[in-house]
Structure 1
Amino acid sequence: MTNEKVKIAILGHKRIPSRGGGIEIVVEELSTRMVEQGHQVTCYNRKGHHVSGKEFDDSSLSDYKGVHLKSVCTIDKKGLAAMNSSFFCCFKSCVWKI
C-alpha cells in the first residue's frame, strides 16, 4: 500500500454541496473523505438552477470542506444537461488544466 497523494477530478454530478440526489450525496461524501486523506480533489459543478431554490443558485463558492469547486457552463435542457456539462468539465480539466 502506498501513501502517494493524487489529484482527483470529479464530474458528472449536478453540484456539491447538495442533498438533491443520491449521486450528489455520494460525491460529497467521497470527495471530502479523500481530502481528509490528503488528496487534492476538484469537483466540477453544473451552473444553473438548484433544486433546493434560487438562494442556492450562486456559483461563487470556490471551496467546500477542502474540495476545490469549479463551475462549468450547462445547457439547461432535459437530456442535454448531463452530456454537455460533462463535455465542458472534461475540456476545462484536460485542455485548460484547471
Structure 2
Amino acid sequence: MSDLKYEPVVHDHKDLLEKAGKRRGFNKAYAELDEEYALAKEMLAARARVGLSQEAVAEIMGTTKSAISRLEAAGKHTPSLSTLKKYAHAVGCHLEIRFVPEGSSKP
C-alpha cells in the first residue's frame, strides 16, 4: 500500500455556499443535487477517517487519482454500485443503500 497520507485542505463550505447562493439559479441547482452532495460528503469523510489520499485510494482500487477525484465530485459522475463497493472497501467501510419512504425524516 502507498505511504501517501491525506492532508485536508482548509475549506469554508458555509462561506462558499453563501457566495455561490447569490448567483442566479445556484440554489435550485444545488438543491437538485442534494443526494449527490450527501454521497460525496460521506465519501470524503470516510477517506479522511482512515487518513488516505486520493492517490492511496486509487492504488488500492487499481485506478487513477483523477478517477477518484471524479468519483468524489458531486453531480459530475454517476458511479456504479460496483465502484462504490470498491471505494467503500478501500476506505475500510462497507456500503449500505436504503430506500426511505417519502415523508420520513432522513436518518
TM-score, shorter chain, exceeding 0.5: no
Of Structure 1 and Structure 2, the greater strand share is in 1
Of Structure 1 and Structure 2, the greater helix share is in 2
**Larger Rg: 1 or 2?**
2
What is the TM-score with the length of structure 2 in the denominator? 0.27
